[in-house]
Amino acid sequence: MIKTYEPGADDDAIVAVWLAASRLAHAFLDEGFLLREADNIRTVYLPMADTRTAWADGRLVGFISLLGDQVGGLFLDPAFHGRGLGRALMDDAVARMGALELDVFVKNDIGRRFYARYGFTVVEERIDEPTGEPVLHLRYAA
């Protein structure tokens, strides 16, 4: 089930999902960096983004945050991968926004496979300044 983000009420669950998913998909990033970014999720990114949440088994297990037509983040609790929840979140975003763009780390094999299956194409590769890691900029033409 997809729901609209509820500020305050959903924050702890979103940060927990983000950390669990990031530790898996972004294992190449330092734990200290992930913990600092977890705080930024709560205080910087969520307040500025249009966020929808995915629920299963009575709890929040994933989310997608949009900044206009940019996917700022799509994260699922790793225990819920493969259940169609990421696709449902992306379908919801496409239905609302149409064409979308996003950045994904080159080393994030999980994310890259998902976005390729969904139909995103690579526009360019660059270095992410805060991490020094290569990222791909992807586009989905609705």
Copy the structure tokens of residue 108.
């994030």
3-state per-residue secondary structure call for the chain: CEEECCCCCCHHHHHHHHHHHHHHHCCCCCHHHHHHHHHHHHHHHHHHCEEEEEEECCEEEEEEEEECCEEEEEEECHHHCCCCHHHHHHHHHHHHHCCEEEEEECCCHHHHHHHHHHCCEEEEEEECCCCCCEEEEEEECC
pLDDT, tens digit, 9 for 90 and up, residues 24-83: 999 999 999 999 999 999 999 999 999 999 999 999 999 999 999 999 999 999 999 999
pLDDT at 118 over 90: yes
Closest CA to 66 of 102, 95, 38, 40: 102
pLDDT, tens digit, 9 for 90 and up, residues 78-110: 999 999 999 999 999 999 999 999 999 999 999
Q: What percent of the chain has pLDDT over 70?
A: 100
**Mean pLDDT in the chain?**
96
Copy the structure tokens of residue 136.
């791909």
Question: Are 109 and 55 in contact, with CB atoms under 8 Å apart?
Answer: no
The pTM assigned to this predicted structure is: 0.94
Q: What percent of the chain has pLDDT over 90?
A: 99
What confidence category does residue 116 fall into, taking pLDDT thresholds of 50, 70 and 90? very high
What is the pLDDT at residue 142?
78
Residue 127 class from Cβ within 10 Å (0-12 exposed, 13-18 middle, 19+ buried)? exposed
CATH superfamily, region 2-140: Gcn5-related N-acetyltransferase (GNAT) (3.40.630.30)
